[in-house]
């Protein structure tokens, strides 16, 4: 299953992994293939430098090494694809653009601004993804 995973979910998985450890195993095994683009990877790099995470360069490199090698890289067309609905938070739009442009099966997020758009695109929480994967086994 090819998925776009928003930055908050990736951070929760990599930094606070206990609750979402299953997602890390899913992308490491190839059950889930995260899709990234230059903009989403740049945001992840930026967020990992936040002082609240107390990660040094080696920590960040290790965490990225547990994610990016398992990801598929996609390019967004310029201009990006038209969105079926407007995103309230403009910084969230990149994930929806990437999901549409890459043909992702799902956009995985815990962000309420994005989950409210689930009627316009296939958007699911990590818990919903886990239920989908559990049904497939």
pLDDT-derived band of residue 93, with 50, 70 and 90 as boundaries?
confident
Mean pLDDT of 107-129: 74
Q: Which two tokens stand for residue 57?
A: 């360069």
92's tokens: 């969230």
Share of the chain above pLDDT 90, in %: 64
What is the domain range of residue 77?
2-136
Q: H helices within the chain, ranges in order?
A: 7-15, 21-29, 38-48, 57-65, 93-102, 112-115, 126-136
Q: Tens digits of per-residue pLDDT, 6-26?
A: 999 999 999 987 889 999 999
Q: How confident is the model at residue 88 (pLDDT cuts 50, 70, 90)?
A: low
CATH number of the domain enclosing 99: 3.40.50.1010
Domains of the chain: total: 1
Can you tell me the mean pLDDT for 77-96? Answer: 69
């Amino acid at each position: 299953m090819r998925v776009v995973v928003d930055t908050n979910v990736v951070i929760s998985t990599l930094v606070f992994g206990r609750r979402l450890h299953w997602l890390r195993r899913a992308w490491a095994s190839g059950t889930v293939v995260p899709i990234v683009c230059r903009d989403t990877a740049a945001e992840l790099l930026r967020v990992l430098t936040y002082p609240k995470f107390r990660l040094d360069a080696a920590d960040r490199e290790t965490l990225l090494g547990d994610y990016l090698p398992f990801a598929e890289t996609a390019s967004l067309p310029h201009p990006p694809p038209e969105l079926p609905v407007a995103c309230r938070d403009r910084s969230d739009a990149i994930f929806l653009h990437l999901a549409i442009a890459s043909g992702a099966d799902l956009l995985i997020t815990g962000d309420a601004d994005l989950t409210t758009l689930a009627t316009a695109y296939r958007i699911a929480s990590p818990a919903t993804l886990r239920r989908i994967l559990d049904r497939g086994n």
